[in-house]
A and B are shown apart, each in its own frame.
Chain A
Amino acid sequence: DTGVSQNPRHKITKRGQNVTFRCDPISEHNRLYWYRQTLGQGPEFLTYFQNEAQLEKSRLLSDRFSAERPKGSFSTLEIQRTEQGDSAMYLCATEQGEDTQYFGPGTRLTVL
């Protein structure tokens, strides 16, 4: 257990629905990352926060995706109008200055 928690752990939804995932980082870690991983691939970067500021967003993050980190604590990732191609494991990782990222358990999304 890295100390990073994610909820829910599994989410099944119908195409077109909105979903929101939450990540609670290790308390002193000021950088927080979201990645997406599909079967047989490594994680792909989506976005990251330095405290409450969202500093970079990947081209993978379409307009249907939005992430927030209010007050530099927990973070949420919302996907609007889900599509079957959004089915993946969504991973949160946090880091405190030593360039070493620790992953949470992930949220597995299945879009029917």
Chain B
Amino acid sequence: QKEVEQNSGPLSVPEGAIASLNCTYSDRGSQSFFWYRQYSGKSPELIMFIYSNGDKEDGRFTAQLNKASQYVSLLIRDSQPSDSATYLCASDSNDYKLSFGAGTTVTVRA
């Protein structure tokens, strides 16, 4: 079992809709969780990080963390064509290195 699992996608949403991305992790010792966006052929770009249970909002992005369920999610509101990318979920395991999921590819239809 991989440490971080993401729904495989691809996920296609119409422009202006909400895109919902899910991630589960296996290591209960993980403290911090990250969402990265990766455009094709580019390197990952940090969007958000979350440490505490609950919601964290940053502009059109909301990250949600439920440590009891070992579940992290990312909501993208008012999706734009420029949001079309692969979204990577990552966790740390108290030893700094990040474990990544395989990513979910999102396509926003104009």
Residues of chain A touching chain B, judged by Cβ–Cβ distance below 8 Å, are: 2, 31, 33, 35, 40-45, 48, 56, 89, 91, 95, 99-106
Determine if B61 is an interface residue (Cβ-Cβ < 8 Å).
no
- List which B45-89 residues lie within 8 A (CB) of chain A: 45-46, 49, 88
Min Cβ gap A92→B in Å is: 9
B32, B97, B99 — which one has the most chain A CB atoms within 10 A of its CB? B97
B34 pairs with A100, CB closer than 8 A: yes
Please determine whether B98 and A56 come into contact, CB atoms closer than 8 angstroms. Answer: no
The answer to whether B32 and A33 touch across the interface, beta carbons within 8 angstroms, is no
Contacts of A33 in B (CB 8 A): 96-98
User: CB within 8 A of B102: which of A40, A48, A103, A106?
Assistant: A40
**The residue from B42, B96, B99 contacting A31, defined by CB atoms under 8 A apart:** B96
Any A CB within 8 A of the CB of B92? yes
B14 at interface, CB cutoff 8 A: no
Q: Contacts A56-B95, A56-B97, A99-B96: A43 and B44 contacting too (C-beta < 8 A)?
A: yes
Closest-by-CB residue of B relative to A47 is B97
